[in-house]
Amino acid sequence: MRTAPDHLRKGVAQKLLQQIIKESKARGYQRISLETSHTFRPALQLYDNFGFVTCKPFADYSEDSNSVFMSLAI
């Protein structure tokens, strides 16, 4: 998820993530998992603020020194 430069620091990513979590709960999902990069510090902070924690690679992902894997139990 990346916010367009003209809309940075306006809460767009936060609102999108809130909607993703809301829809995931409505669908009965138990966990949301994501992959991001160590270089995306604002995204890492956002995910941390929402309670995401680091986890092992999931699905077809494998360990990668550039990747951060995170999940949120919902």
- Encode the chain (74 residues) as per-residue pLDDT tens digits: 788 899 888 999 999 999 999 999 999 999 999 999 999 999 999 999 999 999 999 999 999 999 999 999 99
Domain span at residue 61 reads 29-74
* Residue 50: CA count within 13 A, CB half-sphere: 26
Contact present, 10 and 42 (Cβ < 8 Å): no
Count of domains observed in the chain: 1
All residues at 6 or more sequence positions from 35 whose CB lies less than 8 Å from its CB, including other chains: 57, 61, 67, 68, 69, 70
- Tell whether 10 is covered by a domain: no
pLDDT of res. 58 = 96
Q: Does any domain span residue 61?
A: yes
Distance between CA atoms of residues 37 and 34, nearest Å:
10
5, part of any domain: no
Q: Give domain status of residue 23, yes or no.
A: no
14: in domain? no
Q: For residue 17, count CB atoms less than 10 angstroms from its CB and return exposed for 0-12, middle for 13-18, buried for 19 or more.
A: buried
